[in-house]
Amino acid sequence: AEPADCVPVQATDPLYVLYTSGTTGKPKGVVRDNGGHAVALRWTMEHIYDVGPGQAMCTASDVGWVVGHSYIVYGPLLAGATTVMYEGKPVGTPDAGAFWRLIEDHGVRSFFTAPTALRAIRRADPEGELLKDHDLSSLRHFFAAGERLDPETQRWIEGLLGMPVIDHWWQTETGWA
């Protein structure tokens, strides 16, 4: 393939369409514009996720969900950062230490996952033995989204990591909130 030049677009031109979950009926397509979304993502990369040029972020989410779409694809790109992509379950690949290996191997600074993944890891490795084998000194921030992070799981992961785990909510309809 031949390299292509950048194509100028308006801030209000569509960037992508994602579909809502359909919990209130038929899923609806939500069109996100270029300008507002790019500005919000760039700002959050610096001021919330604390990731910049030359640093690594891993969002272990589905790329079809707004968090995955925003912080696997666009956010790190806009910040000049590396995005570490992960496909698969956090357990049984080959074990519940998959996320910890990923953080260590790629020097991940900011990590994002769903509470379901944390609960699966906790069931497989309740004492966090697999974490002890890894150097997570690059990790500065750990985030959860996609569903409610129950207090018991939050206390468990915070105890293992020795840092706060920030749980927040997203909706396809709002982009980020």
Mean pLDDT confidence for 160-169: 93
**pLDDT-based confidence at 177, cuts 50/70/90?**
very low
- Tens digit of each residue's pLDDT (9 = 90 or more) over 15-58: 889 888 888 889 889 898 888 888 999 999 999 999 999 999 99
Residue 59, H or E segment: strand 56-60
Cis peptide before 164 (omega within 30 of 0): no
Domains and CATH numbers, the chain: 34-167 (3.40.50.980)
Each residue of 26-60: b (16+ CB within 10 Å) or e?
A: eeeebebbeeebbebbbebbeeebebeeebbbbbb
- Provide the 10 A C-beta neighbour count for residue 169: 11
- Tens digit of each residue's pLDDT (9 = 90 or more) over 70-126: 999 899 999 999 999 988 888 887 889 999 999 999 999 999 999 999 999 999 999
The three-class DSSP label of residue 111 is: strand
Residues 6+ apart with CB under 8 A from 77: 83
